[in-house]
Every structure is written in structure tokens, then in C-alpha cells.
Structure 1
Amino acid sequence: MKAITTSGWGLSAELVLNTISAPTRLGANDVLVQVHGASVNPKDWKLNYHAAVAFTPLLVNKLPPFFGDDLAGVIIDKGSKVRDFEIGDAVYGMDMRPRTASLAELTRIDQKRIAKKPPSLTFQQAASMPLAAQTALQGLRKGKAEAGKSVLIIGASGGVGTFAVQIAKAMGLHVTGVCSGRNADFARELGADEIIDYTQGDYRNTAGSFDLVFDVTSYESPRTCDALIAEDGWFISTGGDTRSMLITPFYRVFGKHCGTVVVESWTRDLDTLSELVESGKLRPIIDSVFPLAQSQQAYDRSRTGRCRGKVVIEVMA
């Protein structure tokens, strides 16, 4: 089968299209998926390009050479304990192993990591959702988001941000999005009530306070966003400055709560997203689509940090 592998590690690494053996052994809870679509997430290329990986041989040797987390496709085989899915089902999801290996024509995935694809979505649209949309959903939950509260979403026009804005609105929150001026109208179309243009100056001490500050860019920290967090409010990040995140316990002393969302893929959360899609409250935003053979270009596009929505890779037409 055709699959994308890496030719090396660090900044000089290249993704290449190879012919490799197809998976032959399924676990009892696994399904074998014929992959139609996958998508790019910063986590994917950071695992390969980050200096810490490039200079840590022990970690490098443990990472598989395959790429891709998100997938959408059709089940063509299943393990003996798979009960909720049948051969021929269209599904979407991801695994939280180092990589799902979804940039391949066939891949294995545990049944608890997938759900049936929303009928109204194409495989490409569905493939853009699992990691980013579940990150948004789980981050909002961790930040105690609920109807009537206010949320500031830093990075409102990016992969996670576009989902976070829509999900927050569906939950009944007042949403303020942080993005560049060129994306302001786009963020409003997604449902943002207010927009802050970060190119017009440092807003972090002047924008007021919010019940939840959700940094989906991973660039901020509780320290840099202190003035934005309301009393008894939350700061949630998708990563951020590790050193700054270590001060989390001290922020709790002063009535402010902080945390990092570490996404997991669960059938129940994917089903929740599917319900939002089918009710018209959530739609995936596709920045660009690349064929499997151009996966390197797709990752390069993601690394620019200028994507509006998700970068998708078409594995099989």
C-alpha cells in the first residue's frame, strides 16, 4: 500500500511517499480502515521537527516513521470484539498513540477512538475534525464553559480556533475572538460576538476580563494573560510555555484556575460533534487540500501559522 514516511528527523526531515506492507494483524478491538482523508495538525510536525526530538535519540527511536492523526474512511475489516461498527461503515476519528498513521491507504484504529462519519460531511471535511474539534470541545469543558459566561479565544481563525468559536456559541457563551484584522469578518461569520485584532497592539492589559481565556495558539501563558482572567476564572492552553505553566498552583491561590488540554479521542465526543454538525451549529473550515503525494507541502503550509481552518490531505479519492 501507499503510505507517507519520514526520511529523517529535525529541520532537514522530508516526508516521502513509499510502498509498504499493509497491516495484517488486528487486535480484538481494532478496525481496519481504508483511509479517504486525513489532516495536518501542529502536533504532527512538532513531533518531527522540534529540536527536542531532533536531539533526543531515545525519543526518536521510539517514534514510528509514519504520519497522520486524523482520519476519515471506510471499515474493511474488524476485530472479534467490535460490536458497534460494521464492515462498510464510514467513520472518522484518531488515535492517541504517537501517531495514528493515517497518511496511508490502510490503517488500524481502536473502536473506542472512532465514530460514524456525519452523513452531511465529505470524507475530507470529516477528516479535518477529530483532533482539532475534540481539543476545542474538551478545552471548553475543562475551563468550565457554560451558557451566559464569557470566553476569549486566542487564535480564533486557526484549526482549533474555528471549532472553538462555533462550539462555544452552541454552548451559549459570549465569544470574543482574537485574530488578525484580515480574518475578523471570517471569525464573526463563525459566530464570534466581538473581535480583537492582535495586530493593532497588545490587548492583554486592555481588553477586560473573561470567565475563560482559551489560548489555542499555545503562545500565551497564565502570566502573560493574567489581566484577562476574571476572578475565579480559567486559563486553558493547548500547550504553551512549560516554564510559565508551572506557576499554575500559585494562580489557584488567588482564585484563578489554569490548565492544559491534552486531547483524547472518544466515540462519545465525536458523536457530540456529529450532532452539532447535523444540527447546523458546526461546520469544518478547510484551508487547503493536498494529494497524498504532496504531504510535505501540506505540512509546510501548516508550519506557516497562517492557515484559516485545517489543512487536509486526500489519501484516496
Structure 2
Amino acid sequence: MAAAPSEYIPSVYGAWVYSEYGKTANVLKFDPNVAVPEIKEDQVLIKVVAASLNPLDSRRALGLYKDIEGDTTLPTIPGYDVAGVVVKVGSQVQKFKVGDEVYACLSNSNEIPQYHAKNSHGDLNEKALVKPNRLGSLAEYTAAGETMLALKPKNLSFIEAAGLPLAIETAYGALERTELSAGKSVLVLGGSGGVGTHVIQLAKHVFGASKVAATASTKKLDLLRSLGADLAIDYTKENIEDLPEKFDVVYDAVGQTDKAVKAVKEGGKVVTIVIGPVTPPAFRFVLTPTGSILEKLKPYLESGKVKPVLDPTGPYPFSKVVEALGYRETSRATGKVVVYPIP
């Protein structure tokens, strides 16, 4: 294995860990003595520089998925999104070398309860059966499989890159599943969130949608327009099921498929990424994270056509992870909440 000089890789590192289920404010503790993982031959060891938070971090800590086959075991280091520097590579790793600046989604599944759900073609998503990573990104070091990684675009900071992987991969993958293409229209429910902000941009600049509509609260309508939304809808004042026009695709990022199906054209597609009841003909998208999506989107990120959207309260320092999670749990965040710097 290639490795950085041994003095750069300690035997233990600091990480946020929970050993029992509950609210993150109660169960998440800082452990300064976590053993640095032994990487497998197809993995790399990453010195974490920045990480971002996702709803799954809090849900998993609550134990919502503990009885579902494939969930992680305790103790667990939370965190899916990572941006950092490769400090060691496994013997079979070919695409990355020590010193590379990389980013990735460390999860092997978007939503654990979807493991046994069928996709829109009626097939089980086998790759999503793999256990999610127990060694998450809210740590000084983490391990990741080569296939999950991509080189960080040079124009993005570690902070910006950390806010992308899970959200932008989920946005892209679900839009691809709906067969959105040039000339079609799309409505995004929850346009100001981590995923929704990317759905708007990708629909407009990557998939070539003819019209992009999105919902948000009153204060966030200008953000939607700045991201490329042709129609910014204030959900506190308008009901989407009462809109005079219908859309080819409705992307539900908030868990309202009952309303979403009333806003889609006949023969259109409704996709949701939120756990809970799904109203037909809507279907739930299951993300299998892969660095190939990040690589595919690299030209759009480097050109600035697609940009990370970060919550203005951040970044939060590594010592304030519990506070950062508490803020994200209020559902008031705009875009992604990032933790930086990580020592």
C-alpha cells in the first residue's frame, strides 16, 4: 500500500460517536481515541477537512432504522458527506493517490427503509442492500471505497465540496429516473433544501427543462429564482394542487406525494426521496452513491452553472457538531449545513 509518511497518520483520532440511540443532543459524544481504521484493498483513508449534515444523521441516531436488516451497528460515527485529502490507498485502488483532494457520499444507501423497496422498474436495488458506513465523516479520518470517490473540482473549496455529494447525487439520480429531458417541465417541492436547491439547477442546466417551478417559504423565493426557477411558489400562500398548470415531472423533497400527484400531467412522473407513505403513481427513489455521478457533473460545477448552496449560519467548527445538528433538525436550514474546519 502507498501511504503518507507514518507521522501524518496517527493510531487514534477524534470523532463524534453515539453508542446508544436517542436525540443527537443527548447521545452524541466526542471521543478523542477512536482507532484509525484498517482500510480494505479497494478503499482509501481520508483526512477529513470538511463534512456536511443530512436528515439521515439524526434519524439513524434516533434508532428509527435499528430493526431493519442492513442498518449499522453501534457505536456509530455519523456523517455521509466528506471532503478531504487521501492519506493512504489500498493495494487495488487505481484512480486515486496519496495527496489527492477528494469528496464523496460515504453511505451505501440513501434511506435504510428503502432497502427492500422496489424501484420504478419493479426490480430490487441490490447495491442498496450493502450496509451503510459505520465510520462516518464527522471525524478526523474516515475510510471510503474507491467507487464512492471523485476528485474535488479545483474551483470549489473543501467547504463547498462537502455540501454536495449526497444532495446532488440524490437530485441527479431521481431526475434521471423520471426521464426528465429537454423541453419538459418540472415542479420541485421543497426547493430551498439541500436536495431541492440542486434539483432546480440540474433540471435547468443539465437536463434542459423548459420550465422549472419550485416551492419555498416567503423569504426564500428569491433564492429559488437565483438558482434558475422560472416560477417560485410560496407554499404558505398557494396550494400546489390548485395550480392551473400541470407538470411533466414533480420532484417531492418534502414528503407530500398526496399533493404532488395532483400537480402532474397525465402520464407524467412523480418521485419522492422522503420516507413515508407514497401515493401512486409516485415512486420513491433509492440512491446508491457513486463517484461517477460527481464526475459526470464536474464540468457543470467547474463552469459555475451548478453551485453548492450552503446555509449562511455555517460553517460550524468541529467542536460545535451537536449545535449544528440541532440547527439542522429545526428544518430551517437553507441548502447544506457544513462542519469546518475538522482538525
1:2 to 2:14 alignment: yes
Runs of 4+ deviating beyond 6 Å: 57-61
Aligned-pair CA distance for 1:306: 1.1
Displacement after TM superposition at 1:226 (Å):
2.5
Amino acid at match of 2:285: V
Q: Alpha-carbon deviation of 1:8?
A: 2.9
Matched with 2:47 is 34
Residue aligning to 1:228: 263
For residues 206-245 of structure 1, give each alpha carbon's deviation from its aligned partner in whole angstroms, at most 9, with x where no partner exists: 352110000112x212x33222011110000012423xx2
* 8 Å Cα contact 2:217-2:235 kept in structure 1: yes
Q: 1:153 corresponds to which residue?
A: 188
The CA RMSD measured in Å over matched residues stands at 2.0
Residue 290 (1) aligns with residue 313 (2): no
Provide, for residues 114-166 of structure 1, a one-character-per-residue CA deviation record: whole Å limited to 9, x for no partner.
Answer: 00001001111101100001000001111111111000001111110111111
Contact conserved, 1:114 with 1:265, CA < 8 A, in 2? no
CA distance in 2, matches of 1:191, 1:115: 26
Determine the C-alpha separation between the residues in 2 that align with 1:304 and 1:268: 32
Normalising to structure 2: TM-score of the pair? 0.83
| 177, 194, 215: which one aligns with 2:252 | 215
1:19, distance to aligned residue in structure 2 (A): 1.1
SS of 1:21's equivalent in the other structure is strand
More helix by share: 1
**SS in structure 1 of the partner of residue 142 of structure 2:** strand
Question: Quick one: structure 1 residues 74 and 187, their matched pair in 2 at CA, closer, same or farther if it must change by over 3 Å?
Answer: same
Establish whether residue 92 from structure 1 lines up as the match of residue 103 from structure 2: yes
Q: Aligned AA for 1:227?
A: K
Count of residues paired in the alignment: 302
- Contact kept in structure 1, 2:200 and 2:229, CA below 8 Å: yes
Please tell me whether the aligned partners of residues 235 and 259 of structure 1 are also in contact (alpha carbons under 8 angstroms). Answer: yes
Structure 2 gap segments, 5+ residues each: 1-12, 109-130
Percent identity reads 33
Q: Secondary structure at the match of 2:45?
A: strand
Give matches, 1:47-66, under 5 Å: 47-49=60-62, 52-53=64-65, 56=67, 62-66=73-77
TM-superposed CA distance for 1:13, in Å, is 3.2
With the length of structure 1 as denominator, give the TM-score of the two structures: 0.89
Report the residue type matching 1:226 in the other structure.
V
Equivalent pair of 1:13/1:48 in contact (CA under 8 Å): no
Shift of 1:63: 4.5
Secondary structure in 2 matching 1:20? strand
**Superposed counterparts of 1:1-317, under 5 Å:** 1-6=13-18, 8-11=20-23, 13-49=26-62, 52-53=64-65, 56=67, 62-95=73-106, 96=108, 97-99=131-133, 100-170=135-205, 171-173=207-209, 174-217=211-254, 219-221=255-257, 223-242=258-277, 245=278, 248=280, 251=281, 258-287=282-311, 288-316=314-342
User: Residues 175 and 61 of structure 1: is their aligned pair in 2 closer, same or farther, counting only changes over 3 Å?
Assistant: closer
